Amino acid sequence: AKELQEKGHAYPCFCTSKRLEQMRQEQQRRKEAPCYDRLCLSLSEEDIEKKIAEGEKYVLRLRVPHEKLITFDDDIRGKVSFKGYTIDDQVLLKSDGFPTYHLANVVDDHLMDINIVIRGEEWLSSTPKHLLLFQYLGWKAPRYAHVPLLLNKDKSKLSKRQNDVSVQNYIDQEYL
Marked catalytic residue, from 140, 153, 155, 160:
160
The reported pLDDT for the residue numbered 160 is 64
The reported pLDDT for the residue numbered 156 is 80
Q: Is 162 helix (H, G, I), strand (E, B) or coil?
A: coil
**pTM recorded for the entire structure:** 0.84
Do 135 and 141 contact (CB within 8 A), yes or no? yes
The reported pLDDT for the residue numbered 33 is 87
The reported pLDDT for the residue numbered 47 is 96
Position 82 confidence tier, pLDDT thresholds 50, 70, 90: very high
Average pLDDT over the chain, rounded to an integer: 93
- Condensed to tens digits (0 to 9), the pLDDT of residues 88-145 reads 999 999 999 999 999 999 999 999 999 999 999 999 999 999 999 999 999 999 999 9
Q: How far is CA 71 from CA 41, 86, 92, 126, 146, in A?
A: 24, 13, 22, 13, 15
Please say if 160 is a catalytic residue.
Answer: yes
